[in-house]
């Protein structure tokens, strides 16, 4: 269970591997599914699971995973996040911008 993993401070990662185990290869859709199952978890909490934690797992944190001098991550804009509640809205979409 996700709250138990969070309680023990595991470094969580969200990713995509194939359509055999997921409905979509979209990271945003995976985050939406997690939010539906665990509405108490904010987007701000989940964002590193889809960015920096994955880069660390792949030992690429010197190049990817966050916006820092010397790094070259891809940039994605997510339209449809409620800033006051920190929740992803059902109609949210992601677009790569760099």
pLDDT digits (tens, 9 = 90+) for 10-25: 899 998 878 887 778 8
Q: What number is the average pLDDT over the span 68-85?
A: 94
Confidence of residue 37 (pLDDT cuts 50, 70, 90): very high
Predicted pLDDT at 10: 87
The model's pTM is 0.86
Using the Cα atoms of residue 56, residue 61, residue 65 and residue 68 in order, give the sign of their dihedral: positive
Q: What percent of the chain has pLDDT over 90?
A: 79
Q: What is the pLDDT of residue 33?
A: 92
Asked whether 95 and 87 are in contact (CB, 8 A), the reply is: no
């Amino acid at each position: 269970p996700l709250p138990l993993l969070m309680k023990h401070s595991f470094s969580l990662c969200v990713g995509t591997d194939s359509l055999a185990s997921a409905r979509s290869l979209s990271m945003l859709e995976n985050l939406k599914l997690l939010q539906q199952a665990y509405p108490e978890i904010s987007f701000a909490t989940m964002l590193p699971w889809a960015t920096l934690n994955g880069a660390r797992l792949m030992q690429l944190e010197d190049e990817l995973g966050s916006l820092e001098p010397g790094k070259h991550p891809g940039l994605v804009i997510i339209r449809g996040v409620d800033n006051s509640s920190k929740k992803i809205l059902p109609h949210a979409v992601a677009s790569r911008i760099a």
